[in-house]
Structure 1
């Protein structure tokens, strides 16, 4: 069932229920008013007849004759007059006797002064009537034919109104639901046109303050993120393909050249060494891409533990020097007299932080003439601070701006081997650990990288 149909049915049912309750209340109030009005008229008729009889203005035979003649044309009131000791003085039609008075009823009238009750569809009353200092019991009963006829007509009118009103409610509810849901249909039609080749399209936002406007705005923000992610993915695939093609092409060229003709053992060895170097470059590139993928994990997916930065950096220094014996890395632990080890302890993943700091140290050494990196550890406020400095060639403003861009290589790319992954990977890892990284560099004056992860 569509929302439009469901809204129409729900609104119609709810409104029809309220409408039916209102019509029912009108009918009940009308019935109550009819009943009270007729009891009032019945009381007046009973007093009039009793007064005429007790004053002897009209004899009993004449009054009975009038009653019997009127009963053929109108709903005449049947009146009876009794003494308080239940002796009947007058009765309009003893042969009919609608009320059928008994001693118990007389006693009740004497006790309550006046009673009202129904006998089938007849309304009746009994009252204590005083005339010339004496008390009499007067009863009266009649059928409110005119009132019941009006009530019947009212019931038919209300039923007709309910049927017509319900039909109008269905039509109005349908068109209102259709009108209210039109913006949603427009959103659906527009969303159907958004494909992978048209991610730049956005949903229309007519009113940012209503619910549909908020939905469209939120969806457009999602599309913005998807477009950025999709474009980044396409660029990533393109760059990876380019980076992978270079070592593969070099590897194929070396092997192809070695197989073109017979060569000496020394020439074959040189070709194999070149091929091995290209394979290592490709392996390093793949490792960097895998680590980059791990850095994209959510924090909840990564095992975290408390890590002392000084111990971590010592391990990283040993690893880097083992891989590059010609590098020099100096560690300086400032504020060693600090009593609280937590000031240089961070919560993080040991493997990822090791990769980040090893990349930063290698970057210092690669771009420094003496292949040295100077690392300082300190703390301030809620941050642990690691400064990695070199006395290298420094960077231009353009290079600093693109330093953390994936696959970006600076002006020295031909002089220094690399793939443009390390710095982008380091920044992702530091951000994953709720830290921040900044670069300070001048051409010819070296570079300082400042990493500030929060300590425990």
Structure 2
């Protein structure tokens, strides 16, 4: 039994900093400093001020900083220039003094000549010292003054030395000392001083000029900044005024766009496009409401009429039966309409089932085609299916079947007797599909008048409707292109863009075909939900073609899209089903060329180069920038960057942290549901080998991963060939990945298992000791090999015991054959020394079986963690390659035939700064600071240690 850290009645946390000091004191300090800076910023530039005033203040602030910096630099240069001039004057005077000394023969003559010439100089004053520093000559000004003693004797001095001195109350002077030799080569020291009063006065005058002009310039900058800010913000004011006019009564109002090339022009254009989409949505909603009311009212009116007529007087039984048949038919029609409306609303609201099933597209398309053979034969339409490849996509088979059903039913419905309907499917690459999409449907190319050549009048006259554009899924995967083409009545060019609208049923020539007008709208919703596109091409009187492109499941790069093809299903002329491989390809009946001029104006007629000269695009008025505007722009960019960048980064990190916590919460709830179903918590593996399935693999059905769990054979090792053949080990389970880990989407490559997906959340294996295969004894955590714990085993309380925590993928680790013993390692150096002869598992590309965390494997170093060290603590090891790594340690494979116990130091690590997210046995999720007391961290990992501690 461990020492009681806290009395049971108090649930507190003590950190190393001392009693009563909160664990998150560092975070509190950061929040305090951040809030203090926010208060200072709000005090200087209150948010209650207008943007124009705040921009002006920010501009003035930066201008003031720039002005002070420039003024300081200029004044420093001015002072340096003044001092240099003074020093140059001293040097010239001493040179004249030395020339005079060179003309004398002895000291007496030298002193006499110097007194005559230099004794009463007005600005410079001189002193001559012999080699023993005795004064030989003083000018009159220095007769009663004492200059500082020289620092060196004349013979020791090299060159001239400048220094500043103060002479009693006379103020500051500049002193130059120079060592020379007279005509007899005797060393002597020449000294000259000059007062600094004039220099100081001149420097103060420059300071006064800057102090006077600075506020004037600042006030001028404030005024200019205010005017420029108003000029720059005036388009926003006009946008605001125009936006106020846009309402349900005036939906066609649009914002003015003065210059499409600047940011405000782009904003106005974007808002105008948004308003236009909203207007179109409102119009579509009105049309939908009107059409829905009409469609619902029609069967209700029929029901009411038939029932009222039947009730007017007694009628024969056959008449009542006829009325009931009509009522039943209309009720069925009404029910179908409601079901279709419900399906559309579910797609619009995003409530459709999760697209997690592998749907066999070829099998579904072939099955739906076969179901329509009899219908086509009864109508006299020849239904043909080309070779359909076997391929799979991620989605819902019921919706894909509905898509094919609607398209083929629509084609047969609008094809007259003797016509043809062709169903074809091909695997395309992304770039090939893009080229084909721009050229038109292959099926349509086979018919006269639907040529794919550049500039074809038929192609120019045939508008194309695209239901969706640029789906991310379609940009990264191979694509199946499905074409349903017919030789029916076709669709007029002006109605083609509306074929996917709800309740659209075309002109009167198509109106005799009974339907709700929702089939193609449902097709569009299904295709969009599966990340694909749908388009329609048609020519009036020559038929129509609907092309669907859907992204398939990933194909390995080594594969060349070699897929097994299904035999085509064809209805022969005598009504027998035959294999299309023994049949000629579909050919439409010959079409006679039109006689006479076409009816109506041509669509997109070709233009002759000589018909009219080219028209230049209208010139866009360019706005130049003044210096003030440029400075304001730079200031605005700097301010916005300084204000928004930290906020954006913090927001992104907050979103990633919340997503990570949500994943941990799902894992915790899955553990609870597992325990509720089986009365025990999931084991960390079964003693059938070190490759037994992990806790993660056993939780799949409780994480809405039934599709993955159906591939799992728990009675076999996870890397048994039977399990590997299913490919489940390569599935990236989203709930197992932390969005902040940059490598969470990478697959680990193993020579035996191939590619394996990783995990970012490890389960609690306890402090240090993990498993002993001799007696199935396990550590003090909650998940272990060959051990099933129930709630009664969590003696410390579910709310005080860890369930799972974050770990980093691809963390290098040691594994060796020695037994480290039950003592918990005191530090990383102990582990590094102990593991000197161990296998160092670094990672892919460095050696076999590198550092990794495989979600399907059960050892602690794969899917667990221990509390040897605190969260995010760096366990450094310098490898022989000279690189220092942050490592983990594992002494054994858990659950193997080894007869020694297993010990592991697997550290909980997170990419969220300063903390790790943790899940607890009661299903809650909390953030645990990396500075948590190590005693508390170990205490909350034990299931029955007797501690009453929890992380804040």
CA distance in 2, matches of 1:126, 1:179: 63
Match of 1:149 among 201, 206, 217: 201
Summarize the alignment of residues 82-161 of structure 1 with structure 2, pairs less than 5 Å apart. 82-92=129-139, 93=142, 95-97=144-146, 99-102=147-150, 104-107=151-154, 110-120=156-166, 121-133=172-184, 134-161=186-213
Summarize the alignment of residues 206-355 of structure 1 with structure 2, pairs less than 5 Å apart. 206-258=258-310, 270-293=322-345, 303=355, 305-315=358-368, 317-318=370-371, 332-335=384-387, 341-342=390-391, 349-355=396-402
Change (3 A) 1:230 1:151: same
Match of 2:110 in 1: 54
Match of 1:407 among 500, 503, 517: 503
CA distance in 1, matches of 2:345, 2:373: 22
Displacement of 1:29 after TM fit? 1.6
Match of 2:519 among 417, 422, 443: 422
Displacement of 1:149 after TM fit? 1.2
Displacement of 1:248 after TM fit? 2.0
CA distance in 1, matches of 2:340, 2:373: 15
CA distance in 2, matches of 1:373, 1:318: 18
Post-superposition Cα deviations, 1:70-102, rounded to whole Å, max 9, x if no partner, equal 7xxxxx5443221112222233445421x2225
Displacement of 1:239 after TM fit? 1.0
Deviates more, 1:304-313 or 1:285-294: 304-313
Displacement of 1:271 after TM fit? 4.3
Contact (CA 8 Å) 1:430, 1:436: kept in 2 or not?
no
Summarize the alignment of residues 364-403 of structure 1 with structure 2, pairs less than 5 Å apart. 366=413, 376-379=422-425, 382=428, 384-387=481-484, 394=489, 397=492, 401=496
CA distance in 1, matches of 2:58, 2:271: 28
Post-superposition Cα deviations, 1:246-284, rounded to whole Å, max 9, x if no partner, equal 122233334445555666766655544433332222111
Displacement of 1:207 after TM fit? 1.4
CA distance in 2, matches of 1:45, 1:358: 109
Post-superposition Cα deviations, 1:269-301, rounded to whole Å, max 9, x if no partner, equal 554443333222211112222333456578998
Q: TM-score of the superposition, structure 2-length normalised?
A: 0.40
CA distance in 2, matches of 1:16, 1:118: 34
Post-superposition Cα deviations, 1:136-189, rounded to whole Å, max 9, x if no partner, equal 312233422122111112111111111111111111111111111111221222
Match of 1:433 in 2: 532
Change (3 A) 1:168 1:228: same
Contact (CA 8 Å) 2:381, 2:416: kept in 1 or not?
no
Contact (CA 8 Å) 1:82, 1:90: kept in 2 or not?
yes
Change (3 A) 1:13 1:395: closer
Match of 1:202 in 2: 254
Deviates more, 1:46-55 or 1:232-241: 46-55
Task: Please tell me whether residue 357 in structure 1 is matched to residue 409 in structure 2.
Answer: no
Displacement of 1:240 after TM fit? 0.9
Structure 1 unaligned spans of 5+: 71-75
Match of 1:26 in 2: 74
Contact (CA 8 Å) 1:361, 1:373: kept in 2 or not?
no
Summarize the alignment of residues 159-198 of structure 1 with structure 2, pairs less than 5 Å apart. 159-198=211-250
Post-superposition Cα deviations, 1:49-70, rounded to whole Å, max 9, x if no partner, equal 785982514759x987x58xx7
Task: Please tell me whether residue 9 in structure 1 is matched to residue 57 in structure 2.
Answer: yes
Deviates more, 1:324-333 or 1:34-43: 324-333
Displacement of 1:17 after TM fit? 2.3
Match of 2:851 in 1: none
Displacement of 1:373 after TM fit? 9.2
Contact (CA 8 Å) 1:320, 1:358: kept in 2 or not?
no
CA distance in 2, matches of 1:276, 1:429: 29
Displacement of 1:306 after TM fit? 4.0
Contact (CA 8 Å) 2:384, 2:423: kept in 1 or not?
yes
Post-superposition Cα deviations, 1:10-56, rounded to whole Å, max 9, x if no partner, equal 32222322222222222112211221222233344556678598251
CA distance in 1, matches of 2:351, 2:537: 22
What SS does structure 1 have at the residue aligned with 2:157?
A: helix
What SS does structure 1 have at the residue aligned with 2:258?
A: coil
Contact (CA 8 Å) 2:256, 2:268: kept in 1 or not?
yes
Post-superposition Cα deviations, 1:190-219, rounded to whole Å, max 9, x if no partner, equal 122222332212111111222222222222
CA distance in 2, matches of 1:210, 1:187: 14
CA distance in 1, matches of 2:61, 2:349: 51
CA distance in 2, matches of 1:368, 1:29: 92
Deviates more, 1:77-86 or 1:408-417: 408-417
Change (3 A) 1:317 1:388: farther
Post-superposition Cα deviations, 1:297-325, rounded to whole Å, max 9, x if no partner, equal 78998626442334434247549979x99
What SS does structure 1 have at the residue aligned with 2:112?
A: coil
Change (3 A) 1:267 1:408: same
Contact (CA 8 Å) 1:84, 1:110: kept in 2 or not?
no
CA distance in 1, matches of 2:256, 2:274: 14
Change (3 A) 1:136 1:436: same
Task: Please tell me whether residue 41 in structure 1 is matched to residue 97 in structure 2.
Answer: no
Match of 1:73 in 2: none
Contact (CA 8 Å) 1:82, 1:89: kept in 2 or not?
yes
Contact (CA 8 Å) 1:440, 1:449: kept in 2 or not?
no
What SS does structure 2 have at the residue aligned with 1:112?
A: coil
Structure of higher CA gyration radius:
1
Contact (CA 8 Å) 1:346, 1:453: kept in 2 or not?
no
Give the aligned CA root-mean-square deviation in angstroms.
4.2
CA distance in 2, matches of 1:47, 1:367: 114
Change (3 A) 1:315 1:140: same
Q: TM-score of the superposition, structure 1-length normalised?
A: 0.77
Deviates more, 1:263-272 or 1:412-421: 263-272
CA distance in 2, matches of 1:328, 1:350: 30
Change (3 A) 1:150 1:439: closer
